[in-house]
Amino acid sequence: MMSAYLDFIRIRFIMMLAYRVNYYSGIIIYAINIGAYYFLWQAIYGDKEILAGFTLIQMTTYVAVSWMARAFYFNNLDREIANEIRDGSVSVQLIRPYSYLFVKMMQGFGEGLFRMLLFMIPGMIIVCLIFPVTLPTDPTTWLIYLVMLFFSFLINSQINILTGLFAFFVENNEGMMRMKRVMVDLFSGVVVPIAFFPGWLSAIMQWLPFQAITYLPSSVFTGRTPSSEVLHVFGIQVLWFIGLLIPIWLIWRAARRRLFVQGG
Amino acid sequence: MRYASLFWEYIKNYAKTRLTYRADFWVEVLSDLLFQGMNLIFILIVFQHTSALGGWSEAEVVFVYGFFMIPYGVFSTFFSIWNFSERYIVKGEMDRVLTRPAHSLYQVLLENVDPPSLIGSFVGAIIMALSWGQLDLTFQVMDVLVLLLLILGAVLIYAGLYTALSAISFYSDAPTGIVPLMYNIQNYGRYPVNIYNKIIRFVLTWLLPFAFVGVIPASYFLEKKADDLSQLALLTPVMGIVVFSLGLWFWNHGVKRYRGAGS
Amino acid sequence: MLAIDVKDLRKQFNVQKNREGLSGALKDLFKREYNEVTAVKDISFQIPQGEICGYIGENGAGKSTTIKMLTGILVPTSGELKVNGYVPFKDREKFVNGIGVVFGQRSQLWWDIGVIESFQLLRKVYRVSEADFRKRLNELVERLQLGDLLNRPVRKLSLGQRMRCELVASLLHNPSILFLDEPTIGLDIVVKTEIRDFLMQMNREQGTTILLTTHDLQDIEALCSRVIMLDDGRIIYDGGLDDLKNRWSKGREIQFQFAGQTQLAKLRQLTESLDVTWTMENEVTAQMWLPHTVNVSDALSCVVGGVQIRDIKIIETNTDDIVRSIYSSGSASVAKETV
């Protein structure tokens, strides 16, 4: 059974390779994104040395690493699920002998793996050449970061799945998906590190899962999180991962009941 | 004239469809506004840590944002074709469109009109009006006319760009993923472009002219800066016509390459 | 005047080659290879006004591609093409005013609103005057018995109801040519018959030219005076349906049930003078296969004199069998020899 799931990763990986335009446009767009934010932050810093505890170099590294991480964890599972619900193909998926949501997760992972290998790694090399970025030298930091990055992917995918499943209950969840995308980008800290948020907002963020997607891993990677707290930060990610399983399970159960009652 | 009456007919149908799903309507309006709000939050957060961005004050940047929301709302209402590739190319609905006697782009646009997005334009106008007062800008009747002209130009630029992006699907049937990624790039035209380096500035001004939907036209009303963007402001309508013509040409050319879904 | 005039029409597609496996996909990312596929290979035919013509062929034979070129959806690679006096893809917007198109697998109606709203919109799109529209709609509604369906949203209609509405939608502007791409797919026999009758009547009364693709040969038998058969992008037959049967059916079969045990040798001997073949099923049943050159009455009279017959059944090869055998013989060359 597990090998079937692994095959979903492989197939999605190969599928991504087939979307050539997608690949090239992605590279250009990420390059522009990182570049634009680099200059934006440069302008924000002006002649100040430190803002919210970040030096400009730390900030640049943070921006580059966060966007690269986004390339890995970003996927359109919400849209895929919503479309499959709307055109009714989800009921076909349900008669297959596998867990639909787990398969979706695997497909998302295949996509992420593709972007990591063919996108993130070459992209990171280019970014290091162009912009003043300092990477950690300690191999354990790299290792911890990779594990945390994997959890970023899990949590982001969970949020996507939740958003997508809402298509069962509302006819059109386009607006919701759009809103989710902006919220993830802003509140996860890709666009602005959470340390920059005004006190009340960052206090709210402490209680939302978004920071676990970008802010926490990127802070560890850029060395902003002291090593004594790394375990604690990682614990938050794990907690969110487990915590998000519950609403998914509840919604999925309600959705299936609805599907059985109403038909596809 | 006929296109106008067609427009009205499509809007009526849209309204009828929409009335069937009333709850969704408000969800969408709300999420649209929150979407805009998020971007505003970014600006507000940034200005908590600095007083100026490349020589622009907070009120000015907010003003630019308010201006931007107006053409963006109009554009989103009439060019809500995010799923063009999927619905019309992959699922082949383009076949049906092409068997009807009206321009294909016009039909596709009308089938997807999204009037709730217009609310964003109103909010933008309010934001702009508030910043206008805050910045103590003078106000003349001419300004209204220029404003309308600039908005029209900005809408055309947006329309042209997204028509061209959608038309890519005619050439490559695989999903291109460009449209969602564009979401980010379009934001950069709302910040003073002088903060970017030459390459990005050039891209945002002349290649993907998002600067022409935000900071450039808005600068017309603001105090002149050292690096005077407002000189370009009146070029906005010209850019609009050029970009939209190119987009339309690309579309028309693409339709000829359309190959239909499956057999 | 010709409704459709096609000369040397060709359509080629570039289909990207997907190399196998991971390494293949990686190579594709950087350098892609294409295969040129010719879906329609230099076909020519002419359809006069007022004809109902069936366009048949296996899946992938190029039927839909042809229809899409004829309706202005696809641009041909080469060849000449005139429909209703227009080159479809050139004057598309003017041209489509004179044609109606129904894709059996795809709806042209708005999903969520009443059928009548879709019709109203199409009225505007096709610039039909309110008076003409009313008159036409009433006629169509009466003939297809749609009365109480008009206010229902499309998603609440059954497939048969929907298909009748699709027909109305494609006919509101009174087109002189109607293209039907598998109009009866998935419908039950009652609706199929209804639709066939309707099309027949319309063709008779208004002289509407109809070109339809179908996999259901009963459609063809009921409607078409003429059949164009396509195989692998080429026309392998163009002519009357009866001709097709006569030329391609190899003959008839007569099944005998005898009163008592009968020997094969005896039967052969009885029909010595005729070019027929016998097969025995068991001691009391046998089949006689006779080509078209042999009269049934001659053959029967030979047998009747010699043995006691309890029952006779004459089996004419049906169109399905004929077409199946043409498909499976497959190559155009075999077919051409026969024609």
Q: Residue C81 belongs to what H/E stretch?
A: strand C78-83
Longest dimension (CA), chain C: 80
User: How far apart, in whole angstroms, are the C-alpha atoms of residue B249 and residue B244?
Assistant: 8
- Give chains near C: 3+ CB pairs under 8 A: A, B
Instruction: Test C73 with B258 for CB contact under 8 angstroms.
Output: yes
Q: What is the domain partition of chain C in residue ranges?
A: 2-11+41-246, 251-316
User: What is the Cα–Cα distance from A108 to A112, expressed in whole angstroms?
Assistant: 6
Query: Does CATH place domain C251-316 in 3.30.70.1150?
Result: yes
What is the predicted pLDDT for the residue at C336? 43
Over 60: is that where the pLDDT of A145 sits?
A: yes
- Please tell me which residue of chain A has the smallest CA distance to C22: A14
Q: Which residues of C136-154 are buried (b: 16+ CB within 10 A; e: fewer)?
A: bbeebbebbebeebbebbb
Give the list of residues 6+ apart from residue B191 with CB closer than 8 angstroms, or none.
A40, A43, B53, B54, B61, B64, B214, B215
> How do residues A58-115 score in pLDDT, each as one tens digit?
898 998 899 889 989 988 899 889 888 887 788 777 777 788 899 999 999 998 998 8
Cross-strand partners of A51: A54
Q: What is the pLDDT of residues A208-244, one digit of tens each?
A: 999 999 999 999 998 888 888 899 999 999 999 999 9
CA C165 – CA C146 distance, rounded (Å)? 8
Q: How far apart are CA A208 and CA C254, in angstroms?
A: 82
Q: Which residue from C21, C22, C32 is facing A20, i.e. has the nearest CB?
A: C32
Q: Are C29 and A10 within 8 A, CB to CB?
A: no
Contact B146, B99 (CB under 8 A): no
Q: What average pLDDT score do residues C59-88 get?
A: 91
Q: How far is A33 from chain B (nearest CA, A)?
A: 7
Residue A19: closest CA among chain C residues belongs to which residue?
C29
What is the pLDDT confidence band of residue A177, given thresholds at 50, 70 and 90?
confident
Query: What are the two backbone dihedrals, phi and then psi, of residue C177, each rounded to the nearest 5 degrees?
Result: -125, 135
- The residue in chain A having the minimum alpha-carbon distance to the alpha carbon of residue C28 is A18
Judge whether C215 and C185 are in contact, CB under 8 Å: yes
Phi-psi region of C85 (alpha: psi -120 to 50; beta: other; left: phi over 0): left
Residue to test with chain C: of A17, A19, A86, most C Cβ within 10 A: A17
Torsion of CA A226, A227, A231, A236, to 10 degrees: 20
Q: In chain B, which residue's Cα lies nearest the Cα of A38?
A: B196
Size of interface B-C (CB pairs under 8 A): 79
- Does residue C77 register a pLDDT over 70? yes
| C246: its two tokens | 């006569």
Number of Cβ pairs closer than 8 Å across A and B?
121
Range with lowest mean pLDDT among B38-52, B130-144, C235-249: C235-249
Q: β-pairing, C285-291 with C78-83?
A: unpaired
User: Among partner residues B2, B17, B96, which is closest to C108 by beta-carbon distance?
Assistant: B96
Taking the CA of residue A53 and the nearest CA in chain C, the distance in Å comes to 42
Q: Is the pTM of this model over 0.95?
A: no
Instruction: Answer whether B95 sits within 8 Å of C127, measured CB to CB.
Output: no
Mark which residues 104-143 of A lie under 8 Å from B by CB. none
Q: Is there a contact between B175 and A179 if contact means CB atoms under 8 Å apart?
A: no
The span from the first CA to the last CA of chain B, in angstroms, equals 37
User: How far is it, in rounded angstroms, from Cα B47 to Cα B53?
Assistant: 8
For residues C175 and C249, the model is more confident at C175
**C3-22 average pLDDT score:** 85
Identify the closest residue of chain B to A187 by CA–CA distance: B38
- B-chain residue closest to C92, CA distance: B101
Tokens of A235: 């614990």
**DSSP letters of B58-118?**
HHHHHHHHHHHHHHHHHHHHH---TTHIIIIIIS-THHHHHTSSS-HHHHHHHHT--GGGH
pLDDT at C326 over 80: no
DSSP strand pairing (A50-51 vs B52-53):
unpaired
User: What is the pLDDT of chain B when averaged over all its residues?
Assistant: 85
* Interchain contact, B27 vs A175, CB within 8 Å: yes
Per-residue pLDDT for C332 more than 50? no
Q: Does A183 touch chain B (CB under 8 A)?
A: yes
Render C238-253 in DSSP notation, one character per residue: EEEHHHHHHHH--EEE
Compute the nearest-CA separation of A17 from chain C (Å): 6
In the predicted structure, residue C337 carries a pLDDT above the cut 60: no
Whether residue A197 and residue B196 make contact (CB cut-off 8 A), yes or no, is no
Element (H, E) at C35: strand C33-48
Question: For all residues of chain C together, what is the average pLDDT?
Answer: 85
Q: Which residues pair with C48 in a beta bridge?
A: C2
Q: Do B101 and C94 touch (CB under 8 A)?
A: yes
Domain boundaries, chain B: 2-257
Q: For the segment B8-35, what is each residue's pLDDT rounded down to a tens digit?
A: 888 888 877 777 666 667 777 777 787 7
Interface mutation target, options A16, A32, A119, A173, chain B, most CBs of B under 10 Å: A32
Q: What is the pLDDT of residue B151?
A: 95
Q: Residues B30-65: pLDDT tens digits?
A: 777 877 787 888 888 889 888 888 888 999 999 999
Instruction: Tell me: pLDDT of B239 over 90.
Output: yes
Task: Tell me the one-letter amino acid at A131.
Answer: F
Q: Is some CB atom of chain B closer than 8 A to the CB atom of C92?
A: yes
Q: Can you say how many angstroms the Cα of residue B107 is from the centroid of all Cα atoms in its chain?
A: 19
Higher-confidence residue: C76 or C1? Answer: C76
Which of A54, A67, A89, A182 should one mutate to test binding to chain B, selecting the residue with the greatest count of B CBs within 10 A? A182
The boundaries of the domain holding residue A83 are: 2-262
CA–CA gap between residue A115 and residue A19 (Å, rounded): 12
Residue with tokens 């007062």: B133
The strand ranges marked E within chain A are 50-51, 54-55
- Which DSSP string corresponds to chain B? -HHHHHHHHHHHHHHHHHHHTHHHHHHHHHHHHHHHHHHHHHHHHHHHH-SEETTEEHHHHHHHHHHHHHHHHHHHHH---TTHIIIIIIS-THHHHHTSSS-HHHHHHHHT--GGGHHHHHHHHHHHHHHHHHTT----HHHHHHHHHHHHHHHHHHHHHHHHHHHHHHH--S---HHHHHHHHHHHTTS-GGGS-HHHHHIIIIIS-GGGGTHHHHHTTSPPPSS-THHHHTTHHHHHHHHHHHHHHHHHHHHHH---S--
Please tell me which residue of chain C has the smallest CA distance to B20. Answer: C112
Q: For residue C114, what are the β-bridge partners?
A: C153
Using CA atoms in the order B242, B244, B250, B253, what is the torsion angle rounded to 10 degrees?
A: -100
Task: Tell me yes or no: is domain C2-11+41-246 CATH 3.40.50.300.
Answer: yes
Q: What is the pLDDT of residues C203-239, one digit of tens each?
A: 999 999 999 998 888 888 889 989 999 988 999 889 8
Q: Does the beta carbon of B263 lie under 8 angstroms from any beta carbon of chain C?
A: yes
Question: Is C1 within 8 Å of chain A by CB?
Answer: no
CA A149 to chain centre: 9
pLDDT band for B261, please (50, 70, 90 cuts). Answer: low
Looking at the predicted structure, is the pLDDT value of residue B106 above 90? yes
Q: Which of B169-178, B190-199, C103-112 has the lowest mean pLDDT?
A: B169-178
Number of domains in chain A: 1
pLDDT of the residue at B193: 86
Residue B161 has pLDDT above 50, yes or no: yes
Q: How confident is the model at residue A164 (pLDDT cuts 50, 70, 90)?
A: very high
**Rounded CA separation C230/C59 (Å):** 10
- What's the pLDDT at B180? 63
Which among A20, A32, A83 has the least Cβ separation from residue B200?
A32
Taking only residues 58 to 97 of chain A, the set having a beta carbon closer than 8 angstroms to any beta carbon of chain B reads 76, 83
Q: Is the dihedral of CA A198, A200, A202, A208 positive or negative?
A: negative
Task: Name chain A contacts of B199, Cβ cutoff 8 Å.
Answer: 35
